[in-house]
Structure 1
Amino acid sequence: MTDRIREKLQILADAAKYDVSCSSSGSDRKNKNKGLGNTGSGICHSYTEDGRCVSLLKILFSNVCIYDCAYCVSRRSNDVKRAAFTVQEVVDLTINFYRRNYIEGLFLSSGIFKSADYTMERMLQVVKKLRLEENFNGYIHLKTIPGASPELITEAGLYADRMSINLEMPTEAGLKRFAPEKNHAEVQKDLGIVRDRLIQFKDERKLIRSVPKFVPAGQTTQMVVGAASESDYDVMMMADQHYKEFKLKRVYYSGYIPINHEDHALPAVGSAPPLLRENRLYQSDWLMRFYGFAADEIVNPQHPNLDLDVDPKLGWALRHPEQFPVDINRADYRMILRVPGIGVRSAKKIMHARRFGALRIDQLKRMGVAYSRAQHFIYCIDTPQFQKEIQPAQIRHQILQSGQSKYTKQLSPQLGFGF
């Protein structure tokens, strides 16, 4: 590697670290014709949905950008070193790093230079060369450039495993304030292109066996949280809308990092992003995707912000004491999932095991139930003198005093486990 390439890599890898939407689950591209790599297991670390850690070469094609978004390190008015790879340089880096077992795939994004189509075309050339000339079958996550033509986006989807495009800000008002040259409508148009093509290819595959894969790992988006005065209700409603309308694989929440101290319109949050709030948003997202919660059950106009002291599932339970206690031997699956301390796997084990007899406390513990939390909201055949009406304030105080809520601060926001 030459000194110039090493310098470019340092600049463009550092600039790419602010994009968090790089999970690599969902694709099953297979190695064929003695090519390089398999997508089966998805230099940044990311996590698949089953918890595996994978390594991706995460870089920008260029940090030159025609936009001037106040919260972005690559904005045109920022005084930073600029660099850009050539198409062949990105291809060579990916292949050489893969052969040295440094990476398992590529995450490629870029600032927008010259125009959206010009940038998208260069990134498309990279993935085409990797797939067609280098026979690379590893994982590729490609960022869609806002405003690129539908033809370029569609062609890119034939070579990438996952595509994503950032909403940037949760509200249109925040976007107009800090990124006036962008708008949500343009992003939604591009999300709609990928969604429609996914549906089209899926329908064609029912009739034609040889239909090529199109973005097999789906598409994602990302929002910056904390740069504007949006509430958690605003964030979750925007995420819920896009999950439903565009069938997104995932929404990512990126805590705002203050990088432009001269702009007094941006909040002064110190030197660290709001990581605990970010983590609560990921936990709320997990509840919507895997626990059957509606977005307005987690946050609503009466409770617009998440409680930072307790996780959102516990917060919901404390706000709805009329739903508890739950008879663990009689309640349906939906209600068991809503008990704090019981996760998806434990709930399934409970539903299976109770067909063979009534469950006891020691059995619940062996199934992985966090009984120290769940005990306040459930009863089973050997529960001693359970109080039929739970006392939310008392339970909250007891859990906070015992330090049980601290477990959530240690969770990976990419996984969201621990409910």
Structure 2
Amino acid sequence: MDLLRKLEILADAAKYDASCASSGTDKRDSRKGGLGSTEGSGICHAYAPDGRCISLLKILLTNACVFDCAYCINRATSNTPRARFTVDEVVQLTLDFYRRNCIEGLFLSSGIIRDPDYTMEQLIRVVRCLRVDHGFKGYIHLKTIPDADPGLLAEAGLHADRLSINIELPQAASLAALAPEKNFADIHTAMGGLRTRIADAKEAKRGERRIRAPRFAPAGQSTQMIIGADASDDATVLGTSVGLYSGYGMRRVYYSAYSPIPDASVALPPRAPPLVREHRLYQADWLLRFYGFSLDEIVAGGEGGMLDLAIDPKLAWALKNRADFPVDVNRAAREMLLRVPGLGAKTVGRILATRRHRGLRVDDLARLGVRLAPALPFLVALDHRPRMLDGAHLRAQLTPAPVQGSLF
């Protein structure tokens, strides 16, 4: 099989892995020469939380796999075209795409070849060759194999900027039913090992010999959950995420809506979940991490433990807690302003900085980047006090009208 055909198959197979953002890494010292950078922008494959466009060559080493996970298009019994790169081919592709200014780094994952240790060894050979033999200084995100020997995972972190181990599904029972070759406890154990090594590396850098301290996955670790392949509700999904953030220091938990595959198991749902569910989970995840919301506040009162798909979770909370509003934009604490629909964390920071010098009016809020339509019903400004509509009328006012189809 020629290289172009391999690239076509293995780039397409990698599209199901959502966890390829590159935020959080520190810049590699390039004063001694080398190739590549973790900064800049190019063809966009992912957005970092700080807004940077990150271009990554996102591929699998192979889409052949000895595991037979029911939800995976690359499972052992799937009738799909197979391909496998050699180590040298991945290295050369990465360098060639970089030199053509197409990418800034590499996202590399793989199906399981032979066994987890052999697969992990092949992945490490790629990143070691890039770093050691070619002096590649660009970003590398490596998907690791939880069943692999811990020593292999330890070596992977010396070369990769970010490591990730997919938790796959929100509950252990679901994983046992749909991916019996994988073990929920082993995945958590591997995550815990990475957490410890990442923390130790950061502590060593703060010590007296920080210049000699080896880097270990400076952009941390991430994971991914498939949404809609099992019966887990949003409360369960987000509860699992809360545990991963607090217990394993995850930089990101990614949510990937289940996509039906050919010849699927009868244990899987016949249809994909609505994509807006994935979007609402990301919004709720952001509220949990950066806006001071608790899990109970976000999903309390939700029908069947599910988020409201029609409106975003912050607006849903505000409508349920009308007694806490309106808040005075010139006096309210930061924590309360963060709970106002239409106010983001950066916007709240600008509001707090500006109101030290003068009172804020509606025109000022617009200039500071406030989304006025959702925010004004919940805010008091010098020249504005909202009408106190009940929750149902306010929801109708703020809910976007459905897009009507057209024959033309």
TM, length-normalised to structure 1: 0.91
Is 1:15 aligned with 2:13? Answer: yes
Distance across 1 between alignment mates of 2:390 and 2:359: 26
- What is the CA-CA distance between 1:200 and the residue it aligns to? 1.1
Return the alpha-carbon distance in structure 2 between the equivalents of residues 214 and 57 of structure 1: 22
Q: Counterpart in 1 of 2:113?
A: 113
Does the aligned pair in 2 maintain the 1:307–1:315 contact within 8 Å?
yes
What's the offset of the Cα at 1:262?
A: 4.0
Q: What are the equivalent positions in structure 2 for 1:198-237 lying under 5 Å apart?
A: 198-207=198-207, 208-209=209-210, 210-237=212-239
Distance 1:301 1:237 in 2: 15
Could you say what secondary structure the match of 2:356 adopts? helix
SS across alignment from 2:159: coil
1:89/1:38 CA distance change after superposition, 3 Å: same
Counterpart contact for 1:70–1:260, Cα < 8 Å: no
Q: Helix, strand or coil: the match of 1:269?
A: coil
Match in the other structure for 2:349:
348
Work out which of the residue numbers 1, 4, 7 in structure 1 matches 2:2.
Answer: 4
State the SS of the aligned residue for 1:376. Answer: helix
Structure 1 counterpart of 2:204, one-letter code: E
Instruction: Report the secondary structure of 1:163's partner residue.
Output: strand
TM-score (norm 2): 0.93
**Any residues of structure 2 matched to 1:263-342 within 5 Å, and which?**
263-269=265-271, 274-300=274-300, 303=303, 304-342=305-343
What runs of 5+ residues in structure 1 fail to find an aligned partner? 407-419
CA deviations on 1:259-309 (whole Å, 9 max, x unpaired) are 134422211226xx6311111111111111221212221114755111111
Percent identity, aligned pairs only, is 51
User: Which stretch of the first structure deviates more once superposed, 346-355 or 151-160?
Assistant: 346-355
**Counterpart-to-counterpart distance in 1, 2:137 and 2:361:** 50
Determine if contact 1:333/1:347 at 8 Å carries over to the other structure: yes
What residue is the counterpart of 2:406 in the other structure?
none
Partner of 1:412: none
2-side partners of 1:14 and 1:248: how far apart?
27
Whole-angstrom CA distance in 2 between matches of 1:332 and 1:39? 37
Distance 1:121-1:32 versus aligned 2 partners, 3 A rule? farther
| Structure 1 residue 33, shift from structure 2 partner | 2.8
Please tell me the residue identity of whatever aligns with 1:391. Answer: D
The code of the aligned residue for 2:10 comes to L
Q: CA deviation at 1:34?
A: 2.5
Corresponding letter in the other structure for 1:24: S
Change in Cα spacing, 1:202 to 1:286, as seen in structure 2 (3 Å) is same
Tell me the SS of whatever aligns to 2:141.
Answer: strand
Cα-Cα RMSD:
1.8
Work out whether residues 44 and 58 of structure 1, in 8 Å CA contact, stay in contact via their aligned partners in 2.
Answer: no
Corresponding residue for 1:57? 57
AA in 2 matched with 1:224? I
Specify the alignment match of 2:148 in structure 1. Answer: 148
Inter-partner Cα distance in structure 2 for 1:225 and 1:41: 32
Match of 1:381 in 2: 382
Q: How many residues align?
A: 398
Q: State the 1:61 CA deviation.
A: 0.7
SS of the aligned residue for 1:355 comes to coil
Q: CA deviation at 1:398?
A: 1.1
1:394 alignment counterpart: 393
Unaligned runs of 5+ residues in structure 2 are 404-408
Could you say which residue in structure 1 is the equivalent of 2:253?
251
